[in-house]
Chains A and B, each alone.
Chain A
Amino acid sequence: MPTDLWAPYTPDEKQPWDLRRVVHLHRRAAFAGTWDELQRDLKDGPEKAVARLVKGTANLQTGHEFYATAALLFDAAQTQGEIGRLKAGWFYRFLFGPHPLLEKLTLLWHDHFATANAKVDDVTLMRRQNDTLRKHATGKFADLLNAAVREPALLIYLDAQTNRKGRANENLGRELLELFTLGVGHYSEADVKGAARALTGWSVEESQFVEVAERHDDGEKTILGQTSKFNGTNLLELLLKQPAIAERIVGKLAQQFFGVNGLSADAAQQLAAGLRERDLNIGWAVETILKSKLFFDAANIRNRVLGPVEFVVGTARLLELFDPAPSTLAMADWSARIGQDLFDPPNVGGWPTGKNWIHSRSLIARSNYAAALVAGPNSGRSEPYDPAALSKKHGFGTKPNDLLTYHHRLLFGSDPSAETMTRLGGAAPRPMVTALLSSPNAQLG
């Protein structure tokens, strides 16, 4: 019996349940925690903290009539055909939603089944896809995959309409094998050709998925060693039976919950095996990860670059900028400038993540965003952020060192080093907060 690499985390002296781990949990599995949320979870312990995130009850600050408002904003985007409104509507969900983990996973699947409105040019379809990804985000991968590849937006993005009998367009077939399911190395070029043929006839008519019998290539295809008159549905069934698919899912989840190469091959394989046993249940894998020793291991803390959306939303949340909130339209714009333009990933491979998020231009944009958030107007807030007021509210003093200590704990779960104290302790409150938020460490989480 091999060791259970996914054993649950139980606090001990070496790996205590401290503020650092609570901050880690919220920055990675949610959009950062407010001081009250952090303190609550610190008090209640890891089990309850994780359970709240999984259930979608972690956020203390949710929007007024959240679900109705979220739907209103998406509806307005859809009926007015404005992608900018859809982006803003999603940021509303990030900022005010009760279930940040679900939104993070929806964002992860948006990256996985990457589809760009620049080509699709249909807000209704982009919204529909977003709803679908959210619906299946924590369910069985078979359901997610089956729904996602039949989404009209994705089909249009990958030119499914032009994939016809006798003139196969391999886009969808190739990405299905390479990106959505198996990954490079688990299929051949011949498999791509076979998959493309199986998918002939899949198309979009009047914004709905259709299978056009006349365009379908009904002949025999050999895919992954099996020969049959595959159609699209059979192809998906075949793919879902491949062992490699579980590894691909684990890889995707690792992108969200671990740093680059932060997960050992053994651990990944064990999790993949568990997924296979459980019908590729995504929710099970996510919960297993969040409860694990591996997740809370010191080596896994602050070893991952926050994506632009995570940074933009998390920064606003931890400063408790809820009323007035920054403009969600402005947040979407900043996220795009930092490198993540929602509903418009650069290509079907999704966004380049990890260290790729960081370069001189994006760092400057992150810093400008932090400054705008603290100053107010440029982020759409009528008033500046008041560091002293928040610090006081949570029982800290209002002297420069107290303010630095409060914000440092809020961001990193630890006290500032002597060096940081010297460097920032004397700064005026707002520039200090901006500097802290712009620091390299604040880009991790």
Chain B
Amino acid sequence: MNRRAAALILAVRTAEGDSPPTDRELLKRYADAGDQAAFAGIVRRHSGMVMGVCERATGSATEAEDACQAVFLLLSRKAHSTRWQESLANWLYTTARKVARNSKLASSRRTKRESGATVRPTVSPADAMTARELVAALDEELDKLPPRYREPLVLCHLEGLTRDEAAARLGIPVAILKSQLERGRRKLAGALAARGCALGIGLLATFATASTRASAPRLLESILAAAGGSPSATVAALVKGVVMNGLLVRTKLALLGAVGVAVLGFGFRSIPTGAGPLTPAAEKHDTKPKVEGQTITGTVVGPTGKPVAGAAINTLDKGDYNKPLVRELGKTNADGKFTVTLEPLPPGRPEFRMLVAVKAGFGPDWVEAEKQITGAVELKLVEDLPVSGRVVDLEGKPLAKVKVRITSVADGELNKVWEEWPRSPYNALQAVKKKLWLPTLAGLPEIVTADADGKFEIQGVGRGRLLGLIFEASGIESAACRVVLDPGFDRKKVSNPSEVTMPGGGFQPGPALYGPTFTHTAKPSQSITGIVTDAKTGKPIAGVQVNGSPDGPHWYENGSSTTTDAAGKFVLDRIAKTDRSRVSVFPSEKMPYLHYTTTIADRPGLTEITADLKLTRGVMLKGRVVETGTGKPVVGAGIHYTALADNKYYAELMKGKRSENGMGYSSDADGRFEFVVLPGAGIVTAQGETRGAIVNIPYTQVRIAKEDLPRADMSRLENLGETFSAADGHIITLHSLSGYTIIEPNLTDDTAEVTIAFDRGQAVSGTVLNPDGQPANGVMAYELTACFPYPQKLKDDGAFTALALDPNQPRTLLFVDAAKKLSATVTLKGDEKNLKLKLQPWGKLTGRLLDADGKPIAGARVSASPKSNLQHMAFSTAIRGRTATTDADGKFALDVPSGPAEYLPGFTLKNKYLDTGYRNENPGHKVNAGESTDIGEQKVKEEN
């Protein structure tokens, strides 16, 4: 799935805060626009009830979960076709009953399972003996009720809504709901009594809260994965997928994390501008792609600006990035000056190096080598501030010998981080651009060990910095934190993210945050052990990587990883106790097995969990990426594989599992790649190199081939582009990809081969002029390239070149001088010559915001986004983060670039989204140059 498109779409949509009031509206948004956030909202509302129904019918949490996922998968498919006359809850209830009933798996598997270990409803005494019979009767009788009586019962009793909530959900007056509810209750009670069930509808209440509570949080994610998103790009996926580790993995983590996160529906709110791999800052476009054999001179100064003698200048050795080595290039002289030479990199290797100034007693300073280093570099050391930590368990006892891994040092405006934190800790941390991913470059140890009293100290990070740590020891959760090197840091002043601030199923907590003196309270781990075997032969398999993490929302760095021993055994002993864990298996590259992820329920207390994992053989796919015409290899292309919805082997081979769709592979120096895929229909997608130094992908946006149209889904062109449906239910979009091919290996094939061709398309040059006709200076250009375009800052001659244009897919570019609030826009096909574009003043979007009681809302943040995300991506990117604030009278005026984009407003107040219903009910508004477009009074809908 294309990550950026989804990320941006979701980011924009959710950022503006359409928190939808009714199921039907949510469903419509999903059906019309593929809005994953809307779908997640539906899942969140109803998964508890659906899970409850499935659990009761199958008697097993695991089977119920399968059934539950199936129900939502059906919903995702049916969303478009069905005319929703009835309430969604009712449809889900009925479908869940059908699915669960038809689940043939249930009976055969049931006996093996430990009931009680997985299901934890609060059990009333009456159900202890005859629960199954009573509940079966209840469900059967509910089935028989006419929908209008069943709906209120399902909502109020199985989903645990209040009457007011239920009425709002069904869109009927409370009085009518109450009467329907009463009549439904009477009918049901009568029917149950007739069957000799004295307890009657009291049962409903017993099961309602229990199922809702037990299932909703942990289920959400798996359902979304099955029906709408794709599973997480875990750390493992990265290690395996990108054939790198150490430094590069961490850097890559940032990118795949961001992207995986976006696909998943985690933290997708405001992906930083140009969020693609490595998210380089915009100004980097002025830089040369590589610094080769360059001699660099500079000065190192102390906190007060005085030169520092004897400071070491370190960098990463150009050798094997898999085992990063620190190299000292030289030291400063008595005047604090240095001259060092960076060796050239071997061709094709991305530039990740930094120059780091280090001197004992100070915090380091650093600069990225990929930034143009011309003239003298000044590196400013900062005052040191010791970090003093302690690790205790949840019983307050010090934990000796815990390994404290130092993972990163970052430097930036921390106030902005805390401001963004509740909306997404991930994005908040990503926005801090100055990062030292390999702290050993600054002379910091890789690991410090806690003493007998659980204490440890770290020096040489520097005041004002953000220090990344991970606590590691057998028996405790491997958990990350960020230490804020500010003695005045008050954790309680940083608001936590929640499902309110990260709505639509996107909630992801952040790492723990500590001041410079702190105590980390380590959670105990609940071990998962097992054997990895060949599904067919039953033979144990050594050397397989097994990763574990909580299945619910969790910070991405928290998790456990290990490798199977000679007997195929593994022990994951650093994973927090949680309702459900996610376990991923990654055979090494040479092994012909498919990787997959599955989930496992916890056991009481800290009882060890056992999970035997079976590997299935797949087909080895060998491929190559080349340029059309020249046949030249494309190096470093990102390759992804996804099984398609019509894959006839998927259901059987991936039963109870899912594949890591976030897994990416890279083409080598000859453009070649190799990995294992499923037999049957699948799609291999490819995108230009986006790692390392700034790359403007010079290739066109791929278009769907005629012969593939029958299996494609063209219903989401406006927001997702051309798409296919994956076997696990998620959507694969071709947006921002430069090539793809569909494969269909046979079950008996050992290998398959593919070639993917990238096209460079047309280039058009032109000049951006000021309103006075002179060349514009320092304008930001959006969408100069077709795939993963980064905003680029033009030079003072206003000249630009747009690459990879395709006459069949005109592209809208935007040029912006944000300081002067000027912009120009043009749509190019590739045959234009000698363009001159004149900047024009922006326009304004104005209106007034009122609360549900009609009172003006002051201090709300107002933002806007274009209605058509793909077509007007340039506008979307350019105005992201641009907000206006409502005045005391609720009035606002937001400056936006004029042009073809049709804007929709979004409102937030103190991180809470205000839903005015406007976005769902109205077309967007164009804004003319220098004019205001008024959208009138916007009234926030009442909370349900």
Q: What residues make up the interface of A, taking CB atoms closer than 8 Å to B?
A: 63-65, 69, 72-73, 75-76, 78-82, 84-85, 88-89, 92, 95-96, 116, 118-119, 121-122, 124, 159, 161-162, 169, 171, 206, 214-215, 323-331, 333-334, 336-337, 339, 341, 344, 346-347, 352, 355-356, 358-362, 364-365, 368-369, 372, 377-380
Q: Decide yes or no whether B397 CB sits under 8 A from chain A.
A: yes
Contact of A76 among B512, B606, B855 (CB under 8 A): B512
How many angstroms between the C-alpha atoms of A16 and B291 in the bound complex? 91
In the bound complex, residues from chain A placing their C-beta under 8 Å from that of B604 are 330, 333-334, 337, 365, 368-369, 372, 378
Q: Are A380 and B524 also in contact (CB < 8 A) when A337-B604, A347-B205, A360-B129 are?
A: yes
In the bound complex, residues from chain A placing their C-beta under 8 Å from that of B162 are 159, 162, 169, 171
How many angstroms between the C-alpha atoms of A339 and B125 in the bound complex? 10
In the bound complex, residues from chain A placing their C-beta under 8 Å from that of B927 are none
Q: Are A329 and B577 in contact (CB under 8 A)?
A: yes
Contact of A327 among B606, B910, B943 (CB under 8 A): B606
Main secondary structure of the interface of A (DSSP, over half): helix
Nearest residue in B to A378 (C-beta to C-beta)?
A: B607
Can you list 17 A-B contacts (CB < 8 A)? A63-B396, A65-B396, A72-B521, A73-B521, A75-B491, A79-B512, A81-B496, A215-B853, A327-B606, A331-B605, A333-B604, A334-B604, A337-B120, A362-B123, A369-B605, A377-B606, A378-B605
How many angstroms between the C-alpha atoms of A277 and B578 in the bound complex? 50
Nearest residue in B to A382 (C-beta to C-beta)?
A: B475
Nearest residue in A to B510 (C-beta to C-beta)?
A: A80
Q: Which of B452-478 contact A (CB under 8 A)?
A: none
Q: Decide yes or no whether B499 CB sits under 8 A from chain A.
A: yes
Q: Are B523 and A85 in contact (CB under 8 A)?
A: yes
Kindly list 18 other residue pairs between chains A and B, CB separation below 8 angstroms, not including A121-B499, A369-B604.
A69-B392, A72-B396, A75-B492, A78-B492, A79-B496, A84-B578, A85-B394, A162-B164, A206-B910, A325-B395, A336-B120, A346-B206, A359-B127, A360-B129, A362-B123, A377-B606, A378-B607, A380-B605
Nearest residue in B to A381 (C-beta to C-beta)?
A: B606
In the bound complex, residues from chain B placing their C-beta under 8 Å from that of A326 are 605
Q: Are A360 and B491 in contact (CB under 8 A)?
A: no
Q: Are B492 and A79 in contact (CB under 8 A)?
A: yes
Nearest residue in A to B205 (C-beta to C-beta)?
A: A347
In the bound complex, residues from chain A placing their C-beta under 8 Å from that of B393 are 327
Q: Decide yes or no whether B20 CB sits under 8 A from chain A.
A: no
Q: Are B394 and A324 in contact (CB under 8 A)?
A: no
Chain A interface: which of B63-71, B207-215, B725-733? Answer: B207-215
Q: Shortest Cβ distance from A94 into chain B, in angstroms?
A: 12
In the bound complex, residues from chain B placing their C-beta under 8 Å from that of A161 are 943
How many angstroms between the C-alpha atoms of A333 and B577 in the bound complex? 10
Q: Are B512 and A80 in contact (CB under 8 A)?
A: yes
Q: Are A330 and B605 in contact (CB under 8 A)?
A: yes
Q: Which of B496-520 contact A (CB under 8 A)?
A: 496-499, 509, 512-513, 519
Q: Are A346 and B122 in contact (CB under 8 A)?
A: yes
Q: Are A379 and B606 also in contact (CB < 8 A) when A72-B396, A76-B512, A328-B395 are?
A: yes
Q: Are B125 and A358 in contact (CB under 8 A)?
A: yes
Q: Which of B811-856 contact A (CB under 8 A)?
A: 853, 855
Q: Are B213 and A330 in contact (CB under 8 A)?
A: no
Q: Are B128 and A327 in contact (CB under 8 A)?
A: no
In the bound complex, residues from chain A placing their C-beta under 8 Å from that of B807 are none
Q: What residues make up the interface of B, taking CB atoms closer than 8 Å to A?
A: 116, 120, 122-125, 127-129, 160, 162, 164-165, 205-206, 209-210, 212-213, 392-397, 491-492, 494, 496-499, 509, 512-513, 519, 521, 523-524, 577-578, 602, 604-608, 853, 855, 910, 942-944
How many angstroms between the C-alpha atoms of A331 and B577 in the bound complex? 12
- Smallest CB-CB A-B distances: 8 pairs: A359-B128, A330-B605, A69-B396, A118-B213, A378-B607, A346-B122, A380-B606, A81-B496
Contact of A162 among B602, B605, B608, B943 (CB under 8 A): B943
How many angstroms between the C-alpha atoms of A73 and B519 in the bound complex? 10
How many angstroms between the C-alpha atoms of A95 and B122 in the bound complex? 24
Q: Shortest Cβ distance from B912 into chain A, in angstroms?
A: 9
Q: Shortest Cβ distance from B206 into chain A, in angstroms?
A: 8
In the bound complex, residues from chain B placing their C-beta under 8 Å from that of A122 are 498
Q: Shortest Cβ distance from B536 into chain A, in angstroms?
A: 35
Nearest residue in B to A171 (C-beta to C-beta)?
A: B162
How many angstroms between the C-alpha atoms of A193 and B284 in the bound complex? 66
Q: Are A324 and B512 in contact (CB under 8 A)?
A: no
Q: Shortest Cβ distance from B626 into chain A, in angstroms?
A: 50
Contact of B853 among A214, A369, A379 (CB under 8 A): A214
Q: Are A88 and B394 in contact (CB under 8 A)?
A: yes
In the bound complex, residues from chain B placing their C-beta under 8 Å from that of A369 are 604-605
Q: Shortest Cβ distance from B168 into chain A, in angstroms?
A: 9
Q: Are A347 and B607 in contact (CB under 8 A)?
A: no
Q: Are A377 and B396 also in contact (CB < 8 A) when A352-B124, A358-B125 are?
A: no
Q: Shortest Cβ distance from B163 into chain A, in angstroms?
A: 9
- Which one of A323, A326, A330, A355 has the highest number of Cβ atoms from chain B below 10 Å of its Cβ? A330
Contact of B396 among A96, A169, A346, A365 (CB under 8 A): A96
Q: Shortest Cβ distance from A287 into chain B, in angstroms?
A: 31
Q: Are A327 and B125 also in contact (CB < 8 A) when A80-B512, A334-B604, A369-B604 are?
A: no
In the bound complex, residues from chain B placing their C-beta under 8 Å from that of A75 are 491-492
Q: Are B512 and A344 in contact (CB under 8 A)?
A: no
Q: Are A92 and B213 in contact (CB under 8 A)?
A: no
In the bound complex, residues from chain B placing their C-beta under 8 Å from that of A337 are 116, 120, 604
Nearest residue in B to A159 (C-beta to C-beta)?
A: B162
How many angstroms between the C-alpha atoms of A95 and B509 in the bound complex? 29
In the bound complex, residues from chain A placing their C-beta under 8 Å from that of B209 are 116, 118, 346-347
Q: Are A356 and B124 in contact (CB under 8 A)?
A: yes
In the bound complex, residues from chain A placing their C-beta under 8 Å from that of B496 are 79-81, 124
In the bound complex, residues from chain A placing their C-beta under 8 Å from that of B120 are 336-337, 341
Contact of B491 among A79, A82, A365 (CB under 8 A): A79
Q: Are B396 and A73 in contact (CB under 8 A)?
A: yes
How many angstroms between the C-alpha atoms of A159 and B165 in the bound complex? 10
Q: Are B395 and A92 in contact (CB under 8 A)?
A: yes
- Which one of B120, B394, B499 has the highest number of Cβ atoms from chain A below 10 Å of its Cβ? B394
Q: Are A72 and B205 also in contact (CB < 8 A) when A122-B498, A159-B162, A359-B123 are?
A: no
- Which one of A88, A161, A171 has the highest number of Cβ atoms from chain B below 10 Å of its Cβ? A88
Q: Are A352 and B523 in contact (CB under 8 A)?
A: no
Q: Shortest Cβ distance from B453 into chain A, in angstroms?
A: 11
In the bound complex, residues from chain B placing their C-beta under 8 Å from that of A368 are 604
Q: Are A356 and B116 in contact (CB under 8 A)?
A: no
Nearest residue in B to A357 (C-beta to C-beta)?
A: B125
Q: Shortest Cβ distance from A414 into chain B, in angstroms?
A: 29
In the bound complex, residues from chain A placing their C-beta under 8 Å from that of B116 are 337, 361, 364-365
How many angstroms between the C-alpha atoms of A315 and B435 in the bound complex? 51
Q: Are A329 and B124 in contact (CB under 8 A)?
A: no
Q: Are B943 and A330 in contact (CB under 8 A)?
A: no
Q: Are A329 and B492 also in contact (CB < 8 A) when A79-B512, A358-B125, A372-B607 are?
A: no
How many angstroms between the C-alpha atoms of A358 and B128 in the bound complex? 9
How many angstroms between the C-alpha atoms of A65 and B944 in the bound complex? 45
Q: Are A327 and B524 in contact (CB under 8 A)?
A: yes
In the bound complex, residues from chain B placing their C-beta under 8 Å from that of A379 are 605-606
Q: Shortest Cβ distance from A73 into chain B, in angstroms?
A: 6
Q: Are A361 and B212 in contact (CB under 8 A)?
A: no
Q: Shortest Cβ distance from A175 into chain B, in angstroms?
A: 12
How many angstroms between the C-alpha atoms of A84 and B602 in the bound complex? 14
Q: Shortest Cβ distance from B851 into chain A, in angstroms?
A: 9
In the bound complex, residues from chain A placing their C-beta under 8 Å from that of B129 are 359-360
